[in-house]
Structure 1
Amino acid sequence: MIMSLILYVVVIVIIVFLIATIIHMYNNLVSLKNRVKNSYSQIDVQLKRRNDLIPNLVETVKGYAAHEKGVLEEVTAARSNVMNASNIKETSEANNQLTSALKTLFAVAENYPDLKANTNFQQLQEQLSDTEDKISYARQFYNDTVLMYNNACQKFPSNLLAKMFGFKEESFFEADEASREVPQVEF
């Protein structure tokens, strides 16, 4: 009788331990999934800030470089693509396109000394540079968070729970091919 009681207690302890482990793994997956969403929203905040600065920058440049219409249209179109992106891949691609267009715009500005000396242009350029740094940090944090989440979705035994409850791996925020190329330096 005592042996059967001990056996029941051991079985109950094992069952409670398994349930507690499953609850812990599930809650960990939920927490990581929410961190991924939060870190993506931090990127979104910085992209919104950059998108809000761009019309002011374009208007400032228009006053000095009216015949650079193609560059201004490229920046405006790229900004629109960022605003209309609906998932991480589209946002990443549109963000890379906008970064490239802004680099072209700043290169064009080098040809206009009056524009470069304009206080409004300098402030906007500084704010955009600061925002680009924040976007870079937010992307890094997002990718670190996605790595932790994806690891939890792939490692045993939490991968079993992830499949059972429909947790799917997330995509990383990736750089475009052009930014991976080694720049050519000429003297």
Structure 2
Amino acid sequence: MSDSVLVWIAIAVFLFWAMGAYNRLVRLRSQGLVAFAALEGSFKQYVSLVKENIPHTAEVHDGDDAGHGHDNSSAAWAGLAAAAEQFNASLKVAHAHPLNGPTTSALKTAFETLCLSWSRLQHLPPDLAGSALPATLQSQWEHIAFQTEIARTEFNRMVANYNDAISQFPALLLAWMFGFKPAQPI
């Protein structure tokens, strides 16, 4: 009789541990989703900033006049607009699956492309009309970049916590059984 009591106690301890470990994995995944929502809000500000400030010449640029200062600016603005559209598309996909590794990897690449396009525009030499980027626009970008970096750091921290939890034995057995997949930092 004492052996069966010990077996039932062991089963109860295992079940309570399994429920606790599963709840921890769910909680960590939820924290990652909340962190992504904050990051997504910052990312959307980039898209809005670019869309609201695209000069009309960038929207109708046909690329035939490459080599002229104004045309280089138009081409750079068109490149930034295209990068913003691609980033926005990646952001929409990531919204549906924020902790999916390939999805967040694509979002990270699109974000890096957007930043590279911005840098290209930022480093164009000024022409007779002045700098390609007004100082107020640069200031807005820097403000968004600061907010984004905070949100991105928090998201990446949550992803690291989540990934650590699903890779630890014996919780990794629950992660495998219930389909918890590793997430990708941005």
Per the normalisation by structure 1, the TM-score is: 0.77
Q: Quote the Cα distance in structure 2 between the aligned partners of 1:58 and 1:106.
A: 14
Cα displacement (A) at 1:136: 1.7
Match for residue 140 of structure 2? 127
Q: Quote the Cα distance in structure 2 between the aligned partners of 1:60 and 1:106.
A: 18
* Count of matched residue positions in the alignment of Structure 1 and Structure 2: 164
Cα displacement (A) at 1:115: 4.2
Q: After the TM superposition, which residues 32-47 of structure 1 pair with which residues of structure 2 at under 5 Å, given as runs?
A: 32-47=28-43
Larger Rg: 1
Among 112, 119, 122, the residue aligned to 1:96: 112
Match for residue 29 of structure 1? 25
Structure 2 counterpart SS, 1:138: helix
Match for residue 74 of structure 1? 79
Q: Does the Cα contact within 8 Å between 1:143 and 1:172 map onto a contact in 2?
A: yes
1:61/1:135 CA distance change after superposition, 3 Å: farther
Q: Deviations over 1:11-60 (max 9, x none)?
A: 33322221111000000111111122222222211110111011233339
Q: Quote the Cα distance in structure 2 between the aligned partners of 1:137 and 1:171.
A: 17
Q: Quote the Cα distance in structure 2 between the aligned partners of 1:46 and 1:13.
A: 50
Match for residue 96 of structure 2? none
For structure 2, the residue ranges without an aligned partner over 5 or more in a row are 59-68, 94-102
Cα displacement (A) at 1:66: 4.4
Match for residue 162 of structure 1? 175
Cα displacement (A) at 1:122: 2.6
Q: Percent identity?
A: 21
For the aligned residue pairs, the C-alpha RMSD in angstroms reads: 2.4
Q: After the TM superposition, which residues 48-63 of structure 1 pair with which residues of structure 2 at under 5 Å, given as runs?
A: 48-59=44-55
Q: Quote the Cα distance in structure 2 between the aligned partners of 1:158 and 1:91.
A: 29
Q: Does the Cα contact within 8 Å between 1:61 and 1:115 map onto a contact in 2?
A: no
1:106/1:113 CA distance change after superposition, 3 Å: farther
Q: Quote the Cα distance in structure 1 between the aligned partners of 2:86 and 2:147.
A: 20
Q: Quote the Cα distance in structure 2 between the aligned partners of 1:113 and 1:162.
A: 61
For structure 1, the residue ranges without an aligned partner over 5 or more in a row are 174-187
Q: Does the Cα contact within 8 Å between 2:43 and 2:148 map onto a contact in 1?
A: yes
Q: Quote the Cα distance in structure 1 between the aligned partners of 2:50 and 2:167.
A: 40
Q: Deviations over 1:64-110 (max 9, x none)?
A: x74321101100000000011122122111110010111111222x5
Q: Quote the Cα distance in structure 1 between the aligned partners of 2:151 and 2:56.
A: 28
